[in-house]
Amino acid sequence: MNPITIRKATISDLETIQKISKQTFIETFAGVNTPENMENYALKNFNSEQLALEINNPESAFYLAILDSETIAYLKINFGSAQTEIRSIQAMEIQRIYVLKKFHGKKIGQLLLNKAIQIGQQSGVDSIWLGVWEKNFKAIQFYSNNDFVEFDKHDFNMGNELQTDLLMELPIINQANNL
């Protein structure tokens, strides 16, 4: 496999982000949710207007993973008021690591997580947190293996079904503090 490059996304990447969002969401969750709930979630969260707001938000950033000129995954991080829940102004949220299913098992998620941790260290946050569906055991194991620890839970509405996300956190030792 050729090397994967990671670059920050811009508004010109909107269609690519939208395509990966929808495809990855369906690949991951269609088997355990109703088609109506899946469609409604995608319409609300992955429409062009919503994604444009997220891409243009100065407190959010998207990073694309590219292999042989094909975008195969992305990372979305949030700072400050862009966080889906304000855990702390000094925290950074990983809102999404979306990897196309045909690239699972190739360490793409790990590359994007490492990028997020590097950004967190360089930006001076004291922790990185995320929410992961309590029944997404593979993702929970992945984050646990990377030293994320569960600290809370919150409700997540998937259409007309109430689900639970585990909130996990990784304390960050800032590079600036180690000088």
Catalytic residues: 143
Ramachandran area for residue 107 (φ above 0: left; ψ -120 to 50: alpha; else beta): left
Report the half-sphere exposure of 137 (CA within 13 A, side-chain side): 0
Under a CB-based contact definition with an 8 Å cutoff, are residues 156 and 133 in contact?
yes
| CA nearest to 107, candidates 32, 15, 10, 1 | 1
